[in-house]
């Protein structure tokens, strides 16, 4: 399949997966478990014989959901709930809620009351990332596994989970290769292509996805020049926008307005592909290890980041991670999509901002929400940011 | 401009057609200067309609242009607060006329000139009279609504309770000053602050913001022209 066709397929799938998934559920007898964001161990679901599928925010204006959810619920809870109410998620056999934040914790009662899925799973992922919580997570994943086995009607075989981890590792490695190619030669793919690449991995069987990605890698390696190059562009890392797909129009605008995206740390992006799980150790422990050591998120409390009183600037592990990414990719700045009504990210933001100012890394926040509205203010911000950075050099 | 001196200027309300408005305002300015279009070496477009001006030789954001224009007139300015008709911006300067940091409020009309227009209409006064009205206040009124539309409702109920329009006007200016002050605080700087934008012509707002910030503000003679001035300087004096 050609590069354009692969990217086009991934874009269509990420934009609206419902038709594709409904057809697969019906004709291929595939049972699907919807994963609410974030950090659900998809490998475990796959090992139990299901297709793990990301539940998406959707792009339609909210209608029915507003009758039961406050309008200041985050875009993901309102959008995904609206999809469920319209029956757009009927292809799901079950849903797992990782109880990520207050929104997902309390909204789950509303969700599960009005949308009766055959199987519902609550996954109590620990809030505090310290060794004491690892034992708890191990038991929690054990319960999740039992629940999945019961839903599947069969037990997992020894080796099933290891195989799944291997497969997901391969897919992530292939996607990392695309990201590495983009870092070396920005403009090889657009920012929206990178996001679609990762989103599509969570919306289709990984076995098929990895084949597509390897085909894409081959084509990208052979390209003599990047199709979307901007020689004067300001090199930026994109971040923020947890739980849901960032708007393609906003990503396009960032590039149009004078930036070159060299990396991203989105949930549907760089954050999902960076982990390599150890394939030799007991598989369930590998899943625990990933969660405990690699979750860089305001929804979690990471004791290793907590700084003594008075050095408040270090209370954002996102900050250190973004600084690291910017250095690795020789970025000149960070553009951060702040999803409106996201409390955990809002409360960490002042520390993130302060740390960016401290190290002198140009940083542009852009507020986003489910309702896109007009993009002109975004264009002005991005262009002013580009002018500001260029005037320094 | 010619040799960094302003030859003529003109301000008029922009309509929905940015190109048309630009042509009109330029025509008047050229007329005042006794010059014609082909004598212009460059035209720089800035502001929301800047990408729609086909005869512009360059387009630069109003943030960068405002910084340039303010620095030209006030070389020691450290902070700009720009309160316009539909958005509010704060800009921290680096001492060389360049933007060190900026923040914008453009998601919400509260804290912009639009808010004052709505309230002026509700109080039955012209927008140019609103500031003087506020200065005649005798009592204190707190307008608590965050939203322009609901603030209007609040004003209507105050009028119904026979609260003096001067006191209401003062309360409204304090409310907008609080919003603007909050945005300015995000720049985390205290220093010479210049107020630009149409709302800077409102004396009631200026007093309220100075009281809120606890310091005096520099008000340019023509606070609405500085961004255009900065735009021209972008080509006349690039560094």
Q: Which of A377, A388, A391 sits opposite B104 (nearest CB)?
A: A377
Q: B134-155, pLDDT tens digit by residue?
A: 999 999 899 988 788 899 999 9
Q: B176-187, pLDDT tens digit by residue?
A: 999 999 999 999
Q: Are A335 and A310 in contact (CB under 8 A)?
A: no
Grade residue A372 by pLDDT with cuts at 50, 70 and 90. Answer: confident
- Are residues B62 and A383, on separate chains, in Cβ contact within 8 Å? no
CA distance A132 to A144: 19
Q: Which of A357, A377, A391 sits opposite B98 (nearest CB)?
A: A391
Grade residue B86 by pLDDT with cuts at 50, 70 and 90. Answer: confident
B64 touching chain A per CB within 8 A = yes
- Are residues B99 and A388, on separate chains, in Cβ contact within 8 Å? yes
Q: What is the pLDDT of residue A305?
A: 66
A374 touching chain B per CB within 8 A = no
Q: Which residue has the higher pLDDT, A271 or A311?
A: A271
The region of weakest confidence among A307-311, B128-132, B154-158, B198-202 is: A307-311
Q: A50-89, pLDDT tens digit by residue?
A: 999 999 999 888 888 888 888 888 999 999 999 998 889 9
Grade residue B209 by pLDDT with cuts at 50, 70 and 90. Answer: very high
DSSP string, chain B: -BTTB----------S-HHHHHHHHHHHHHHHHT--GGG-S--EE-STTGGG-TT-SEE--HHHHHHHHHHHH-TT--EEEEE-SS-EEEEEE-SSS-EEEEEEE-S-STTSHHHHHHHHHHHT--TTTHHHHHHT--S------SSHHHHHHHHHHHHHTT--HHHHHHHHHHHHHHHHHHHHHTT---S-EEEESGGGG-HHHHHHHHHHHTS--B--SSTTSHHHHHHHHHHHS--
Q: Which of A357, A367, A383 sits opposite B61 (nearest CB)?
A: A383
Q: Are A258 and A355 in contact (CB under 8 A)?
A: no
- Are residues A387 and B64, on separate chains, in Cβ contact within 8 Å? yes
CA distance B78 to B70: 10
Residue A379: list chain B partners with CB under 8 A.
Answer: 51
- Are residues A380 and B61, on separate chains, in Cβ contact within 8 Å? yes
Q: Are B143 and B154 in contact (CB under 8 A)?
A: yes
**Residue in chain A nearest B66 by alpha carbon:** A384
- Are residues B64 and A388, on separate chains, in Cβ contact within 8 Å? yes
B61 touching chain A per CB within 8 A = yes
B82 touching chain A per CB within 8 A = no
**Residue in chain A nearest B239 by alpha carbon:** A391
Grade residue B95 by pLDDT with cuts at 50, 70 and 90. Answer: confident
Give B235's contacts (C-beta < 8 A, 6+ positions apart).
B41, B42, B44, B57, B58
Give B182's contacts (C-beta < 8 A, 6+ positions apart).
none
Residue B105: list chain A partners with CB under 8 A.
Answer: none
Closest-CA distance, A385 to chain B, in angstroms, reads: 9
Grade residue A308 by pLDDT with cuts at 50, 70 and 90. Answer: low
In the predicted model, what is the mean pLDDT of chain A? 93
For residues A258-279, average pLDDT:
97
- Are residues A392 and B106, on separate chains, in Cβ contact within 8 Å? no
- Are residues B98 and A388, on separate chains, in Cβ contact within 8 Å? yes
A350 touching chain B per CB within 8 A = no
**Residue in chain A nearest B104 by alpha carbon:** A381
- Are residues B99 and A384, on separate chains, in Cβ contact within 8 Å? yes
Closest-CA distance, A296 to chain B, in angstroms, reads: 26
- Are residues A380 and B64, on separate chains, in Cβ contact within 8 Å? no
Grade residue A107 by pLDDT with cuts at 50, 70 and 90. Answer: confident
- Are residues A387 and B87, on separate chains, in Cβ contact within 8 Å? no
The region of weakest confidence among A129-133, A309-313, B105-109 is: A309-313
Q: What is the pLDDT of residue B15?
A: 81
Question: Is A313's pLDDT higher than 70?
Answer: no
Q: What is the pLDDT of residue A132?
A: 87
For residues A174-201, average pLDDT:
97
pTM of the entire structure? 0.94
Secondary structure class of A121 (helix, strand, coil): strand
For residues B115-139, average pLDDT:
94
Grade residue A229 by pLDDT with cuts at 50, 70 and 90. Answer: confident
Q: What is the pLDDT of residue A314?
A: 62
Q: Which residue has the higher pLDDT, A310 or A260?
A: A260
**Residue in chain A nearest B64 by alpha carbon:** A384
Q: Most A CBs within 10 Å: which of B90, B97, B99, B186, as the mutation test of the A interface?
A: B99
| A172 CB neighbour count, 10 Å cutoff | 21
Backbone φ and ψ for B157, nearest 5 degrees, come out as -70, -30
Q: What is the pLDDT of residue B188?
A: 86
Q: Are A296 and A317 in contact (CB under 8 A)?
A: yes
**Residue in chain A nearest B49 by alpha carbon:** A376
B39 touching chain A per CB within 8 A = no
- Are residues B48 and A376, on separate chains, in Cβ contact within 8 Å? yes
- Are residues B60 and A367, on separate chains, in Cβ contact within 8 Å? no
Closest-CA distance, B124 to chain A, in angstroms, reads: 32
Backbone φ and ψ for B129, nearest 5 degrees, come out as -95, -10
CA distance A273 to A294: 11
Quote the longest CA-to-CA distance of chain B: 60
Tell me, what's the ipTM?
Answer: 0.91
Closest-CA distance, A175 to chain B, in angstroms, reads: 35
Grade residue B213 by pLDDT with cuts at 50, 70 and 90. Answer: very high
Question: Is B202's pLDDT higher than 90?
Answer: yes
Q: Which of B60, B87, B107 sits opposite A387 (nearest CB)?
A: B60
The secondary structure element, H or E, covering residue A288 is helix A283-294
B235 touching chain A per CB within 8 A = no
């Amino acid at each position: 399949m050609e590069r354009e066709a692969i990217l086009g397929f991934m874009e269509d799938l990420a934009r609206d997966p419902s038709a594709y998934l409904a057809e697969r559920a019906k004709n291929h007898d595939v049972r699907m478990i919807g994963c609410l964001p974030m950090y659900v161990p998809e490998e475990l679901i796959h090992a139990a014989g299901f297709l793990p599928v990301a539940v998406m925010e959707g792009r339609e204006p909210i209608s029915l959901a507003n009758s039961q959810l406050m309008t200041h619920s985050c875009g993901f809870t309102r959008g995904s709930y609206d999809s469920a109410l319209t029956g757009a998620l009927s292809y799901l056999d079950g849903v797992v809620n990782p109880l990520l934040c207050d929104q997902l914790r309390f909204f789950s009662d509303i969700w599960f009351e009005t949308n009766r899925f055959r199987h519902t799973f609550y996954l109590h992922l620990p809030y505090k990332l310290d060794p004491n919580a690892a034992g708890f997570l191990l038991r929690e994943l054990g319960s999740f596994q039992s629940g999945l086995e019961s839903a599947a009607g069969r037990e997992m075989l020894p080796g099933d989970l290891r195989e799944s981890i291997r497969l997901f590792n391969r897919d992530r490695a292939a996607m990392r290769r695309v990201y590495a190619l983009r870092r070396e030669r920005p403009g090889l793919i657009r920012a929206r292509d990178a996001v679609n690449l990762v989103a599509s991995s969570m919306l289709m069987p990984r076995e098929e996805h990895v084949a597509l990605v390897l085909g894409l890698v081959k084509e990208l390696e052979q390209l003599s020049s990047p199709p979307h190059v901007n020689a004067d562009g300001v090199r930026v890392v994109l971040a923020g926008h947890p739980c849901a797909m960032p708007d393609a129009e906003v990503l396009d605008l960032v590039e149009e307005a004078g930036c070159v995206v060299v990396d991203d740390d989105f949930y549907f992006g760089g954050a999902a592909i960076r982990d390599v799980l150890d394939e030799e150790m007991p598989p369930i422990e590998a899943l625990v290890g990933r969660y405990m050591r690699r979750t860089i998120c305001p929804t979690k409390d990471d004791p290793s980041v907590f700084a003594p009183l008075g050095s408040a600037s270090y209370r954002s592990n996102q900050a250190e991670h973004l600084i690291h990414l910017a250095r690795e990719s020789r970025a000149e700045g960070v553009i951060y999509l702040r999803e409106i009504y996201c409390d955990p990210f809002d409360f960490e933001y002042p520390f993130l901002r302060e740390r960016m100012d401290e190290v002198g890394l140009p940083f542009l926040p852009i507020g986003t929400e489910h309702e896109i509205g007009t993009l002109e203010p975004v264009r002005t911000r991005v262009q002013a940011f580009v002018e500001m950075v260029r005037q320094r050099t | 401009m010619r040799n960094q001196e302003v030859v003529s200027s003109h301000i008029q309300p922009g309509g929905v057609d940015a190109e048309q408005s630009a042509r009109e305002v330029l025509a008047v300015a050229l007329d005042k200067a006794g010059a014609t279009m082909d004598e212009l070496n460059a035209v720089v477009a800035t502001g929301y309609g800047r990408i729609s001006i086909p005869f512009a030789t360059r387009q630069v954001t109003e943030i960068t242009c405002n910084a340039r224009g303010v620095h030209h007139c006030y070389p020691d300015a450290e902070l700009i607060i720009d309160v316009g008709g539909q958005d509010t911006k704060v800009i921290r300067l680096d001492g060389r006329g360049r933007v060190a940091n900026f923040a914008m409020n453009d998601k919400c009309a509260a804290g912009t000139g639009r808010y004052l227009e709505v309230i002026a209409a509700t109080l039955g006064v012209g927008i140019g009279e609103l500031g003087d009205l506020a200065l005649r206040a005798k009592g204190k009124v707190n307008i608590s609504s965050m939203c322009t539309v609901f603030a209007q409702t609040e004003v209507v109920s105050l009028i119904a309770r026979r609260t003096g329009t001067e006191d209401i006007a003062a309360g409204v200016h304090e409310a907008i000053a609080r919003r603007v002050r909050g945005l300015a605080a995000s720049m985390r700087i205290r220093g010479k602050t210049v107020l630009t934008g149409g709302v800077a012509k409102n004396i009631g707002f200026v007093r309220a913001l100075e009281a809120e910030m606890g310091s005096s503000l520099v008000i340019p003679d023509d606070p609405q022209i500085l961004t255009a001035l900065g735009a021209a300087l972008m080509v006349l004096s690039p560094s």
